[in-house]
Structure 1
Amino acid sequence: MVAISARPAHHNSGPTPPRRPPKDPSVTESAAVPHPHPRLLVLSACAGLVLCMIGVFAFAALLPTFMRDWDLSNTEAGWIGGILFAGYAVAAPVLVSLTDRLDARRVFVAGAVVAAGANLAFALFAEGFWSALALRALAGVGLAGTYMPGLRVMVDRIAPARRAGAVPLYTASFSLGSALSYLVPALVAEAAGWPGAFVVSGAAALLAAGTVAWMAPHAPDQPADPRTRGALLDFRPVLASRAAMGYILGYVAHMWELFAFRAWVVAVLGFALVADAGPWGAAAGGPGSLLEPGAVASWGALVAMACSIGGARLATRLGRARTTQAYMVLSAVTALGFGWLAGGLSYPLVAGLAILYAGLIQLDSAALTTGAVETAPAGRRGATLALHSLLGFGAAFLGPVAFGIVLDLAGGRESTAAWGLAFGLVGLVGLAGVPALRRARA
C-alpha cells in the first residue's frame, strides 16, 4: 500500500522545484526571464564592445600624421589623446548609474549611436586642435554609454556562478578592441586617408548596437522599499565599502598607467626607430613590417588580452587583491626603465619590450573590475561601476596629458631623457595602486 500525503488544494503535483539561495531582503527579484543562451549572450556583449572600440585609439594610431599636419605640440597631442577619457569620466556616473534603474541594453544602444556620430563627425569636420578636442570628448561620452553598461547587460542576464569567468572575457575584449583600434584605422588611412579611418570607426559603432538589441529585456533588481534606493548619483554606500573602494582606487592607478602608455606607444616607438641608426632597425620597423610601430601597438594589445584573462584566473585562485598587487609592481618597474631604454636599445628589442610591457599592464585589469563587481554593496552594482568608471577614466584622461606635459618640459620627443622621465611618472603612479589594494584585503 502506498501512502499519499495530503496537499493543500492550491499546490500542483510534480517535482519540487530547487530551493533558491537566500538573498538580500532589501532587493526585489527582477521580473525578467533568465536569458536562454548565456554563451551567445557573452559573445554578443564582447563583440559589441570590440566594435565600439575601433575608434577609441584611432587618434593615437595616427598621432604622427596629426602632429605633422596640424602642427601640434606634445601637450596639445596629449590633450586630444586624453580628452576622450575625460568625456567618459564626466558621462559615466550618470549613464552607468542609470543601469540600476532601467535595462542596461537601452543605455548601450544609445551610447553606440553617440560614438558612431562622434567618429563620423570627426571625419567630416575635424580640422585642428579645438574641433578635434570637442569631437573626441563626445566620443568619450559614447564609450561611457557602452563599456560598463555592456558589462551590466551581460552580468544581469547570466547566473552568478558564470560571472567569474565571463567578466574577464568581457574586460579582455577591451584589449582586443584596442588592438583593432590601432590596426584598422592605420590600414584604412593608408588607403583612404585619416577621414576614412574615422568613417569606418563610426560604422563599426553602429553595428555594435545590433549586438545587444536582440537580447531579451531585463529589468534591474530594485529595493523592496523604493525609499531606500537613494539618489541616482548617491555613491555613499560604495564609498563606505572598504573592499569595493580598494579595487576602485587600484583601478585608478592602473588606468593612468595603461592609457598613458596606449596614447604614446606609437610615438615612442617612432622615436626608437629613428634613434636606431642601424640597417636592422630600419628594416624591422619599416612600412608594412610586422614590427612597424602601429603593428607593435596592435600586437601588444592582443598580448594584453591574453594576460588580462590569465591574470584574472590566477588572481582568483591565489587571492585577488594580493596577486593584483604583485602584478602592479611588475608593470610599474617596467615603466620606470622603458623610456630610458627606448633611445638606447636596437629597435627590435624596444618593440619586444613594448609588447611585454603591454601585457604586464593588463595582468591586473580584469581582476580589478571583477573585484569591484563582486564586492559591490547590495543593489548598488551600477553605482559601484559608475564610480569605478568615473575615477578610473578620469585617471585615463590625466595620464596622457601629464605625459605630454613632461615630454615638453623635459626636452621634447627627440630626447631620451624626456621619454625616460615621462615613463618614470607613469611607473610611480602605477606603484600607488599597491597600497590602495590593502583596503580590499582588509
Structure 2
Amino acid sequence: MCIGQVGNLLPHVTLSANLAQHLMPAWGLSAAEGGLMASGYAFGYMLAVPVLTTLTDRIDARIVLLCGSIVSGLATVAFGVLAEGFWSGTIIWSIAGLGFAGAYMPGLKALTDRLPAGDMSRAVTLYTSSFSVGVGLSFLVAQVLADRWGWRTAFYVTGIGPIAMVIACLLIEGRRPAPKAGRLLNFKPVFANREALGYIFGYGAHCFELYGVRTWLVGFWTFVVAHQGAPAWLTPVLMSFCFAVISMPASILGNEAALKFGRHRAITFVMMASACVAIVIGLNASAPAWLLALLLMIYGLTVPADSGALTSGMSTAAVAEHRGATLALHSTVGFGLSALGAWGTGVALDAAGGPQSARGWLLAFIVLAIGILMGPVALLWSRKARLEKQPS
C-alpha cells in the first residue's frame, strides 16, 4: 500500500514544481492566479472526498481506491495534452485532485480495515509518512523532465505513476463492510466526537502550512538563486526534493514523540516551532543562500512532524462504525485549508511586491506561520471540551 501510494503521489506537485519557472511565465499569470490554479487540486479533492471516503463505510474501500487512482493518472496526462492557460489548467487540475480524493483517504481506510486489532498508530504513520517520499519524487521527476523536455512531458510521465496503486489494489484481498443504513453523508456522529474534531481541525492547520510552502518552495528558491546566488549544485530541484523526502523520518519521529510525551503536547510543540522557523525564514529572505538552505531543511523537519501524530490520533479517536465518515471530514478540512494555503500565500506575495520581492516572501511566510498556529488553538479547544465531559 505504501509503494502504491508513492506511485499515486507522483503527479501530486507536478504543477507546483513547474509553476514559477514554466507555467506562470508561459501563461502570464500573477502569483495569486498561480496559487489559485495550484489550489484547484486541493479544491477538487475537498469537493469529492466527503462522498468517496464516506462511501468506504458501505463498499470495499479498495474499489474507491482503484477508481480514484485511474482518474488521477488520466487527468494528469490530460493536463499535459490539453491545458493552455489559467482556466483550462485549473479545471483539469481540479479533476486530478478529485481523483486523488478517491486515492488517499480511501487507501488509508483500505489499510486500516485489513490491520489486526490493536494499536494501529505506527502503521498509519508509515502510510502517511510515505506521502513525503512520493511528493519528493514528484518534485524531482517533474522538474528534471520539464527542464530537459518541457513541462508537458513532466505531466505525461508523472501521470503514469498511479498504475502502481492499481496493481496494489488488484493484489490485496477484497473485503465487504457490514451493511449500513442511514444517509451517506451523515457527519453528525463525527461532530459529536470532540476528541476527533480537535485532530481534524489541527490537521487543517497543518495542511494550510504544508500545501502553502510546497506550492511556492520552488518559486522561493528561484528568488534566492536570482538575488543572493547559490552554489551551482544547490538547485531548486535538489532543495525541493530534500525538503519533501526528510518529511518521512520527521513524521515518524513526531509520532514516536507523541506516543512518549503525549499527543497534544508533542503536536503543539511542533506547530509552535514550525511557526517560529517560518517567521525566521521570512525575516531573512535576503540572507546568504547557505543560511536559507539550512533554515529550509529545519522547516522541512518541523512542517511534517505533526502529520502522522494528527492522523493516527484522529484514526484512534474515531468510532469504528463511523471511521469512513471521520476520515472524510478529516480530509475535507485538510484539503480545503490546503487550497486556502496555496492561494492565500500567492495573494500575500502579490500584496507585498511579488515573487521577486523580499517583502513579498516575508509576508508569505508570516501567513504560513499564522495558519499553523491555529492548530494548537484547535487542540486546546478539544482538550477543554473533553475535560468538561469528565466527571468531577
In the superposition, the TM-score normalised over structure 2's length comes to 0.95
Partner secondary structure for residue 161 of structure 2: helix
1:113 to 65, 70, 78: 70
Kindly provide the amino acid, as one letter, of the partner of residue 251 in structure 2.
S
Q: Residue 318 of structure 2 corresponds to which residue in structure 1?
A: 376
Following superposition of structure 1 onto structure 2, how do residues 38-437 of structure 1 map, counting pairs within 5 Å? Answer: 45-63=1-19, 64-161=21-118, 163-222=120-179, 226=180, 229-276=181-228, 281-282=229-230, 284=231, 286=232, 289=233, 291-343=234-286, 345-437=287-379
Deviation at 1:338, TM superposition (A): 1.4
| Contact 1:123–1:198 under 8 Å retained in 2 | yes
Give me the whole-angstrom Cα distance separating, in 2, the residues matched to 1:378 and 1:54.
Answer: 31
Higher helix share: 2
| Contact 1:87–1:137 under 8 Å retained in 2 | yes
Segments of 4+ moved more than 4 angstroms: none
Give me the whole-angstrom Cα distance separating, in 2, the residues matched to 1:208 and 1:188.
Answer: 22
Kindly provide the amino acid, as one letter, of the partner of residue 271 in structure 1.
F
Following superposition of structure 1 onto structure 2, how do residues 8-27 of structure 1 map, counting pairs within 5 Å? Answer: none
Give me the whole-angstrom Cα distance separating, in 1, the residues matched to 2:218 and 2:195.
Answer: 36
* CA deviations over 1:178-217 (Å, ceiling 9, x no partner): 1011001112223321111111111111232111211111
* CA deviations over 1:409-438 (Å, ceiling 9, x no partner): 111112111110111011011111102112
Q: Structure 1: state its 5+ residue gaps.
A: 1-44
Q: Structure 2: state its 5+ residue gaps.
A: 387-392
* CA deviations over 1:113-137 (Å, ceiling 9, x no partner): 1011101111111111111101110
Deviation at 1:235, TM superposition (A): 0.4
| Contact 2:277–2:298 under 8 Å retained in 1 | no
- Percentage identity across aligned positions? 40
| Contact 2:17–2:142 under 8 Å retained in 1 | yes
Partner secondary structure for residue 336 of structure 1: helix
Kindly provide the amino acid, as one letter, of the partner of residue 188 in structure 2.
R
Partner secondary structure for residue 437 of structure 1: helix
CA RMSD of aligned residues (A): 1.2
* CA deviations over 1:20-69 (Å, ceiling 9, x no partner): xxxxxxxxxxxxxxxxxxxxxxxxx1111110111110111112111111
Give me the whole-angstrom Cα distance separating, in 2, the residues matched to 1:435 and 1:406.
Answer: 23
- Which of these two proteins has the greater Rg computed from alpha carbons? 1
* CA deviations over 1:208-240 (Å, ceiling 9, x no partner): 211121111112245xxx5xx431111011001
Give me the whole-angstrom Cα distance separating, in 2, the residues matched to 1:220 and 1:389.
Answer: 21
Kindly provide the amino acid, as one letter, of the partner of residue 265 in structure 1.
L
Partner secondary structure for residue 174 of structure 2: coil
For these two proteins, the number of residue pairs brought into alignment is: 383
Kindly provide the amino acid, as one letter, of the partner of residue 339 in structure 1.
G
| Contact 1:301–1:359 under 8 Å retained in 2 | no
